[in-house]
Structure 1
């Protein structure tokens, strides 16, 4: 398996999820289709779908992503995806003190055990305080971390998560926002999202809906 010898991390978690999704699609096709022309088309499509998830790529970055189409055996394809971790941009370093500053109004904030977080495979840090049924989100945007919190109500059923676009166990996430200059005027913004923190990060393939919600709720 050949990879560029000097290549800085450039893949974000949601992009890595796209690569895994396309690898799974390619693997399924390889197992069920024998026509070489069909396989070649599917390989090209998989690579194009991956490349489209990125902006401008250097020749070395493109070469690495294009290798997705070069493997014949299932174990080689999965090894390729696994070794991409070395090119993943991790979630920015954050401390409990930093998180507390993002939520200054929450005096007894229960911060998750940060040592257990898989930072390479985290698009947004999130956790639920079970005692209060509040969901906390920390998201890196334009070089800084944004904190968002709101009430989450378990729906006790599966459905479409607005953030990761997968069928998961849902909760209704409701965020209160100030409306106007009066301290008594509030509006709310709600969305159906995953109850499972890890699953959402594992499945998310686009940050558009997540960023749009955070920006709207932070106004």
Structure 2
């Protein structure tokens, strides 16, 4: 089967587990410890693919018989044909997500490998704005917010890694029934300044999806 079924965040999780196993194989001489790490990697990957069918499971578990750096490297390369791309989008589609932004600065879509994208994120330094596009529930939605640079590393709320972050603050669209006309609620989180780095690190979607949902609902 050649049908893509591995999303970017899942591929990142696989890479994380494979690298841990590779390091263990290279530095630990106790077979019981290696066996434990191998079984843990198998379990973590299985958790990320609860709907995997027979052939997919075989692909995901092929690493179990490997123990060398070359084998693990080749295994990760063998997964690339199964990577599921971020929904292809055009500049016109992105502009529709942010209709109130008259001069929307857009990322160079031609330079993006959509296999390694969980969300599209980009900055407009001139306006201190940060933009996200994400397929929530199968529909591409956009989040616009203000970013406040920190000029230092911190923990990104999306990828949970230490990267250079900015405070990303967006205003929710929802209002209480009895809210005044000028009511607004802003939600802020520290997010990677470099969207590519964030996409390389992200291994789960809950934090991102909850944030996007809270903003657009």
TM-score by length of 1: 0.94
Contact 1:7–1:61 (CA<8 Å) still a contact in 2? no
Which ranges of structure 1 fall in alignment gaps of 5 or more residues?
1-5
Corresponding residue to 1:28 among 15, 23, 30: 23
Query: What's the counterpart of residue 165 of structure 2?
Result: 170
Query: What's the counterpart of residue 149 of structure 1?
Result: 144
Contact 2:172–2:214 (CA<8 Å) still a contact in 1? no
Which ranges of structure 2 fall in alignment gaps of 5 or more residues?
none
Mapped partners of 2:108, 2:180: distance in 1: 37
Corresponding residue to 2:12 among 17, 26, 30: 17
RMSD between aligned residues: 1.2
Which secondary structure state, in structure 2, belongs to the residue aligned with residue 211 of structure 1? helix
Alignment size in residue pairs:
214
Q: CA deviation at 1:182?
A: 4.6
Contact 1:7–1:60 (CA<8 Å) still a contact in 2? no
Contact 1:171–1:195 (CA<8 Å) still a contact in 2? yes
Contact 2:2–2:81 (CA<8 Å) still a contact in 1? no
1:82 pairs with 2:74: no
Report matched runs for 1:126-145 at 5 Å. Answer: 126-145=121-140
TM-score by length of 2: 0.95
Mapped partners of 1:45, 1:188: distance in 2: 40
Report matched runs for 1:163-202 at 5 Å. Answer: 163-178=158-173, 179-180=175-176, 182-202=180-200
Which secondary structure state, in structure 2, belongs to the residue aligned with residue 91 of structure 1? coil
Mapped partners of 2:32, 2:184: distance in 1: 59
